[in-house]
Structure 1
């Protein structure tokens, strides 16, 4: 979520083990949100497949963070000059190399969406970029979301609940209209009209950071409950991890899981 004062990243903790199109297991303690450059206002989050080969996306994100945090002479970013675009492109190249080094690619279908967002050095305007792997193909270079100077909510992974809540219609409505006989060239204008007529805008530019956090938490909770009551595995669930990025306070954890009791949590940067 992007408002004038901040970015908010929120994600559930469920990671699905899928083979041959079947969900074999759902793990409840996955990490999907990361401070991608320690000490800098840069955050990352992913949805989709939870691993590339034997390495979890969480481990890969931490390995990338170590690379980006090195000295400039050793391949790290320049903390005084970096841009979010540069970090997104570094992320894309890193994931590309790891994916194409696999001796055997994952079975189709599979996809990964990796979001990188934050504030470039010397900038007070947040931006969000996305890297996509879909069935073995990288969807071009990292893509920046439009709305550089405006607020918005982005969601992915299991989008049906928020499609209905925010857009006002199911993701399956376009196919249903075409199956009912709607001419294909009329689909886009009709869907745009439906969205403008029944969509719900819950976010605004001047929204305070605390309210943006509460809204992000609510939206993840809606998705978790919606998926829970559907037939099938709870592929969205577990605890909700939330982080904010602001131009003044930088990256801050709002809520996150711990691997052990909080009274033993002597170190703070394991996630």
Structure 2
């Protein structure tokens, strides 16, 4: 039996006072270690000059941080599990931000799927803009693209040859996909767009029969080369009024 918890931490500042962030979806732990704790361990290792994961805060790349994150999560933690995890299982870990020597943003994804983990994949960089979804993407795909992957089976049953299916889906998306994101969108509008999409996803799974696999409070952070990492919305497991000196825990 698997529990669905509503208070998991999914967004992290990987290096405080630097524009480096991470986000996770999928498995909530590797063995008995929760992902949020592992992210904090990795953050500490990035600052430790004796650690193989150390980075120079004045000379680093987001790609290097992503490579080190894969080594930490997969090679050190996942591979050390005493028993293989039963399939299917997956963990997605995104690393994004700005490298020290550039003014543009980058986004990299690490995916552990049933015991396999390819090198980090660059999703965008050099000024590119995109909307990337993980975990439970179906509601957002249905809204923005007009359909999700569940459409493939009925199309095949209707007689579409498997070899023609990718091209057909591409043509369909060209006529049904809507663009809500723009490269020049103000930060506040981007924040509100993300909040809307997450809220819509939570409502979708709330009313869908079965467990609420997406829920709880939403954490939102913004990373820019000017303001670095900034929290916009976040939850605390402790009352702020009783912890006046504490300002950051994720």
Instruction: Compute the TM-score of the two structures, normalised by the length of structure 2.
Output: 0.95
Aligned residues: 247
Partner of 1:60: 38
Kindly state the Cα deviation for residue 74 of structure 1 after the two structures are TM-superposed.
Answer: 4.8
Instruction: Compute the TM-score of the two structures, normalised by the length of structure 1.
Output: 0.88
Kindly state the Cα deviation for residue 262 of structure 1 after the two structures are TM-superposed.
Answer: 2.4
Task: Give the distance between the partners of 1:87 and 1:124, measured in 2 at CA.
Answer: 17
Contact 1:44/1:116 (CA < 8 Å) preserved in 2? yes
Kindly state the Cα deviation for residue 147 of structure 1 after the two structures are TM-superposed.
Answer: 5.6
Q: Is structure 2 residue 108 aligned with structure 1 residue 108?
A: no
Partner of 2:183: 205
Indicate which of 224, 236, 239 corresponds to 1:258: 236
Of 163-172 and 84-93, the range deviating more from structure 2? 163-172
Contact 1:38/1:69 (CA < 8 Å) preserved in 2? no
Across the aligned residues of Structure 1 and Structure 2, the Cα RMSD in angstroms comes to: 1.2
Q: Is structure 2 residue 73 aligned with structure 1 residue 95?
A: yes
**Structure with more relative contact order (C-alpha pairs < 8 Å, separation 6 or more):** 1
Partner of 2:104: 125
Q: Which runs of 5+ in 2 are unaligned?
A: none
Partner of 2:116: 137
How big is each residue's C-alpha offset from its partner over 1:101-145, in whole Å with a ceiling of 9 and x where there is no partner? 00012221100010000000021111100001011111x101101
How big is each residue's C-alpha offset from its partner over 1:141-189, in whole Å with a ceiling of 9 and x where there is no partner? 0110146422211111111100101111122112221122101121111
Kindly state the Cα deviation for residue 84 of structure 1 after the two structures are TM-superposed.
Answer: 0.2
Partner of 1:181: 159
Q: Which runs of 4+ in 1 moved over 4 A?
A: none
Task: Give the distance between the partners of 1:94 and 1:249, measured in 2 at CA.
Answer: 28
Give the secondary structure class of the aligned counterpart of 1:172. Answer: helix
Q: Is structure 2 residue 160 aligned with structure 1 residue 215?
A: no
Partner of 1:164: 142
Task: Give the distance between the partners of 1:221 and 1:159, measured in 2 at CA.
Answer: 13
Q: Within 5 Å, which residues of 2 pair with 1:9-88?
A: 19=1, 24-71=2-49, 74-75=51-52, 76-88=54-66
Task: Give the distance between the partners of 2:79 and 2:175, measured in 1 at CA.
Answer: 44
Task: Give the distance between the partners of 1:78 and 1:205, measured in 2 at CA.
Answer: 30
